Amino acid sequence: MKNHVKALVVGGGAVGTSIAYHLARAGWDTMLLERDELTSGSTWHAAGLLPYFNMSFATTHIHDYSIRFYKTLEAETGLNPGFSVVGNLRMAQSQARMDEYRLYASTAETCGVPYEWLTPAQMKERWPLMRTEDLVGAIFHPTDGYINPADVTQAMAKGARQFGATIERKWQVDGYQWTGSEWRVTLTKMAEKGGNLVPTEEQTVVTAEHVVTATGNHAQRTARLLGLKIPAIPVEHQYIVTEPDPALVEWRKAGNPEHPVLRDADAKWYVREERGGWILGPYERNAPARFAYGCPDSFRADLFPLDLDRIEEEYMSMIHRLPSSETVGLKDDYNGPICYTPDGNPLLGPAPGLRNMWLAEGFSFGITAAGGSGYYLAQLMTEGEAEIDMGALDPRRYGSWMTTDYAVAKNEEAYEHVYILHHPDEERPAARPLRTAPCYDRMKALGAQFGQVNGWERPNYFAPEGFDDHAARSFRRGGWWEYTLAEAKAIRETAGLIDATAFAKHVVRGPGATAFLDWFTCNKLPKVGRVNLTYALTCAGTVRTEYTIVRQAEDVYYLVSAGGWHAYDEDFLLKAVEDKAAEFGPVIVEDVTTRHGVFALAGPNARAILAGLIRDADPATALSNKRFPWLSARQIELGMVPVNALRVAYTGELGWELHHPIEMQNHLFDRLMEADAAHGLKPVGARAQNWLRQEKSYRAFGTELGRDATPLEAGLDRFVDLSKEFHGKAAMEATGIRSKCVTLLIDGPEDADPWGREALYDGEARVGRLTSGGYSVAFGKSIGMGYVRPELAVPGTRLSVRMFDALWTAEVVGDSPHDPSNARIRADG
């Protein structure tokens, strides 16, 4: 065995093997270690389905790569991975389900994934064994199907070897130690003993510049060895295999093609053919999480006992859909651990706090995702960035607040939700409320309907007592729409108060702080007392983090970034500080997120509301443009509360962000709300804020802003100081403008607005995609933001957007269509 490699991959399931293949293909000296045999984890009992369907842009790219890649493996390796391209039929029992598919189809189109629509009659004609009269339609993917998980893994392993990788079986990783320049990895030789896999006395050490862990159900052990929290905990997943179904056998004997993979999402199952019978895979309620504190070392390719009672409902509904299956007996059953994460996405990317340590854990569709995950992770590792934004999969999306109980509750929920209607306005209930601002109860009493962001409860909108948020969800305008409309109007006409406590907040200070931040971010640093919007870039010159940055003293900066990305941003910042310590001198980073609450007060009456509360020698001028200009920050006193007030407004109205000691939040809240009657102050939720910021073309992190666009492509030129050197500058300039961020006003359907996932067309040609969507109160029509080819990013260009399978006119407008001169934000008084 080699004792030093560039990359060591731990875990020989589908995922680890694909990563080893792609690292070796990229030219890295790679070794794969497996404690048992390849595919002896979850991979061996997977049903092998390769569904394209999912609602995420990044994941669709990953699945798309896998499906295309697996089709090439036989030619490359001589091993047939057993890919049956039978297609995938996703049925709908309701119009709401069809709406879900239409929204999904928009995402599929933005990634170039082919699909067709089928009516019940067309389905019956093609697959007469199916009952279709109670269906309203289906979406059909002709190019996916299922694969043999063991064969595809072996083919990737052979491919990896062909590119020079070595694969060592029966070696278990038992320890990791970072020396400052490489990982010292301790391995134990495993041996078969009486049918068990046991450690031997033989140990060795391998050093590696980079380590990737892809340890499947053993993720908790890996977490312990690395001193990390990893919310990858398996849930039981079963499927059953029936005896041959005579009707099916007959149908195939007559020369008919194999059935596509069938998915009756409303009945919560998938079905495919297996040697003349059927495989039924349900996603039932109450499937329990397993191995929350670690998978026993003795657990190999083991299974749990079948729990038929739990899947009775799904079984009966299969019989309803395929009546000939009623008389067919059960031949086989599988109940295995399937790893989940709280949001159902894998954890793929850098490990928090560690150098050159990469996680590839928590895969619930690991056969489908393995190919693309290997490809994009290898890009990230070998080139510094991947061609898609991997943020949504980044392991650092869960902060240190995450616990085992949380992961168990959310993972069980994620499993159960695989086939629920994926409303874009969905909020899932498990493990809530957990992280609450002090004003939570007050907001709730005012009718707040909360969403969860990074564990925090944040009002989405406010509704009357008894309102049912769950029933109000829709793929079109949900029951919440009218309340959001009223809140958006309040900000434009009177005033609104938004709880923005979830913001991530860091203080960066010390003798090296100014030089460091000047290098780390692309805009000029603000003068003392001023506020700037600025960006930290990736090494590829794309947007890594958006900061509102306040210079509190010569070498003291207060950085505010997206609440949903706290740990993700913090890890990037801390590693950059450490890397640059020798060059710039000492820099101290302090996380003050949970120390300060934040209220955003905005609207024409915002100044009058604060004027009633501010304590100042000259209250009449304290909030004037002269003493408190736009984009400045002041320490003020509102009643008895010391407030770090920032004159900024993400909604595009006169406003202040009031950063206050969190323990005084309720006092401040009560004082502000007392202004209600006189000034029309309304509590406002995140949905109205999202609409309003689009009228001002304010880009949001995670939608317009991410690792797939440079700030110049995002149209943020005015926040980029090209006269200075900063991290990512050369790459940003070299990238040029591949596409450009625009704002569009849309004449859409009467009952719907875009969600920000839809494809944009110029005539017949697909020319871009929306990244945000909503309704504009200022223009009385739908609004959206997105990316189009640069030559189309010209105000007045008429494009169309696909919504609900029809094309609707979308006109590119100049940035900030509402109040382009910022007169309202700058209003004096």
Ligand X SMILES: Cc1cc2nc3c(=O)[nH]c(=O)nc-3n(C[C@H](O)[C@H](O)[C@H](O)COP(=O)(O)OP(=O)(O)OC[C@H]3O[C@@H](n4cnc5c(N)ncnc54)[C@H](O)[C@@H]3O)c2cc1C
Least Cβ distance, residue 156 to ligand X (angstroms): 11
Residue span binding ligand X (CB under 6 A) among the ranges 213-221, 374-382, 445-453, 722-730: 213-221
| Separation CA 301–CA 297 (nearest Å) | 11
Q: According to the binding rule CB under 6 A, does residue 13 interact with ligand X?
A: yes
Segment 261-300, which members bind ligand X (CB under 6 A)? Answer: none
Helix (H) or strand (E) holding 508: strand 504-509
Least Cβ distance, residue 118 to ligand X (angstroms): 22
Considering only residues 5, 23, 24, 47, which one is a binding residue for ligand X as defined by CB under 6 A? 47
Considering only residues 102, 210, 218, 396, which one is a binding residue for ligand X as defined by CB under 6 A? 218
Contacts of 147 (CB under 8 A, 6+ apart): 48, 50, 70, 81, 82, 83, 84, 367
351 versus 576: smaller Cβ distance to ligand X: 351
Q: According to the binding rule CB under 6 A, does residue 40 interact with ligand X?
A: yes
3-state secondary structure of 226: helix
| Separation CA 44–CA 793 (nearest Å) | 49
Alpha helices by DSSP H, 508-565: 513-520
Residue span binding ligand X (CB under 6 A) among the ranges 12-20, 550-558, 682-690, 784-792: 12-20
Least Cβ distance, residue 84 to ligand X (angstroms): 12
Q: 283, 234 in Cβ contact below 8 A?
A: no
Binding mask 173-212 for ligand X (x = CB under 6 A): x---------------------------------------
Q: According to the binding rule CB under 6 A, does residue 368 interact with ligand X?
A: yes
Q: According to the binding rule CB under 6 A, does residue 364 interact with ligand X?
A: yes
Binding mask 514-553 for ligand X (x = CB under 6 A): ----------------------------------------
239 versus 775: smaller Cβ distance to ligand X: 239
| Separation CA 40–CA 220 (nearest Å) | 18
Q: 530, 646 in Cβ contact below 8 A?
A: no
Q: According to the binding rule CB under 6 A, does residue 11 interact with ligand X?
A: yes
Considering only residues 132, 217, 411, 452, which one is a binding residue for ligand X as defined by CB under 6 A? 217
Considering only residues 22, 35, 90, 740, which one is a binding residue for ligand X as defined by CB under 6 A? 35
Binding mask 722-761 for ligand X (x = CB under 6 A): ----------------------------------------
Q: According to the binding rule CB under 6 A, does residue 366 interact with ligand X?
A: yes
273 versus 758: smaller Cβ distance to ligand X: 273
| Separation CA 762–CA 742 (nearest Å) | 14
Least Cβ distance, residue 33 to ligand X (angstroms): 5
Strand partners, 2: none
| Dihedral over alpha carbons 686, 687, 688, 694 (to 10 degrees) | 100
Considering only residues 216, 391, 399, 685, which one is a binding residue for ligand X as defined by CB under 6 A? 216
Least Cβ distance, residue 281 to ligand X (angstroms): 6
| Separation CA 517–CA 587 (nearest Å) | 10
Least Cβ distance, residue 361 to ligand X (angstroms): 7
Least Cβ distance, residue 406 to ligand X (angstroms): 21
Residue span binding ligand X (CB under 6 A) among the ranges 94-102, 284-292, 357-365, 446-454: 357-365
Least Cβ distance, residue 14 to ligand X (angstroms): 5
| CA 649 vs CA 178, 639, 681: distances in Å | 44, 22, 16
Secondary structure string (H, E, C) spanning 84-139: ECCCEEEEECCHHHHHHHHHHHHHHHHCCCCCEEECHHHHHHHCCCCCCCCCCEEE
Q: According to the binding rule CB under 6 A, does residue 172 interact with ligand X?
A: yes
120 versus 149: smaller Cβ distance to ligand X: 149
- Residue 760: both structure tokens together: 């944009």
Q: Residues 572-594, buried b or exposed e (16+ Cβ, 10 A)?
A: bbbebbeebeeebeebebebebe
Considering only residues 8, 16, 70, 607, which one is a binding residue for ligand X as defined by CB under 6 A? 16
| Separation CA 473–CA 317 (nearest Å) | 26
Least Cβ distance, residue 153 to ligand X (angstroms): 8
Segment 671-710, which members bind ligand X (CB under 6 A)? Answer: none
392 versus 434: smaller Cβ distance to ligand X: 392
3-state secondary structure of 337: strand
Considering only residues 269, 283, 340, 363, which one is a binding residue for ligand X as defined by CB under 6 A? 363
Least Cβ distance, residue 62 to ligand X (angstroms): 11
Contacts of 310 (CB under 8 A, 6+ apart): 238, 284, 285, 286, 287
Q: 124, 132 in Cβ contact below 8 A?
A: yes
Residue span binding ligand X (CB under 6 A) among the ranges 94-102, 363-371, 375-383, 565-573: 363-371
Strand partners, 367: none
Helix (H) or strand (E) holding 264: strand 261-264
128 versus 175: smaller Cβ distance to ligand X: 175
Least Cβ distance, residue 305 to ligand X (angstroms): 13
| Separation CA 300–CA 288 (nearest Å) | 19
Triad 340, 344, 349: Cα angle to 5°? 85
Phi–psi pair at 149, nearest 5 degrees: -60, -40
Strand partners, 212: 9, 358
- Single-letter code of the amino acid located at 543: V
Q: According to the binding rule CB under 6 A, does residue 10 interact with ligand X?
A: yes
Q: According to the binding rule CB under 6 A, does residue 33 interact with ligand X?
A: yes
Segment 49-68, which members bind ligand X (CB under 6 A)? Answer: 49
Considering only residues 5, 23, 25, 43, which one is a binding residue for ligand X as defined by CB under 6 A? 43
Residue span binding ligand X (CB under 6 A) among the ranges 30-38, 554-562, 620-628, 684-692: 30-38
Q: According to the binding rule CB under 6 A, does residue 45 interact with ligand X?
A: yes
271 versus 658: smaller Cβ distance to ligand X: 271
Nearest to 668 by CA among 694, 640, 690: 640
Binding mask 297-336 for ligand X (x = CB under 6 A): -------------------------------------x-x
Number of residues in contact with ligand X, rule: CB under 6 A?
39
| Separation CA 534–CA 546 (nearest Å) | 6
107 versus 364: smaller Cβ distance to ligand X: 364
14 versus 393: smaller Cβ distance to ligand X: 14
Considering only residues 183, 239, 568, 775, which one is a binding residue for ligand X as defined by CB under 6 A? 239
Least Cβ distance, residue 233 to ligand X (angstroms): 13
Least Cβ distance, residue 146 to ligand X (angstroms): 7
Nearest to 349 by CA among 298, 388, 406, 322: 388
Secondary structure string (H, E, C) spanning 665-717: HHHHHHHHHCCHHHHCEEEECHHHHHHHHHHCCCCCECCCECCCCCCCCCCCH
Radius of gyration of the chain (CA): 28
35 versus 740: smaller Cβ distance to ligand X: 35
| Separation CA 373–CA 352 (nearest Å) | 19
3-state secondary structure of 36: coil
Q: According to the binding rule CB under 6 A, does residue 776 interact with ligand X?
A: no
Least Cβ distance, residue 68 to ligand X (angstroms): 16
Alpha helices by DSSP H, 366-480: 366-383, 404-416, 440-445
Q: Where on the chain is the footprint of ligand X (CB under 6 A)?
A: 10-16, 33-36, 40-43, 45-49, 172-173, 214-218, 237, 239, 334, 336-338, 363-368
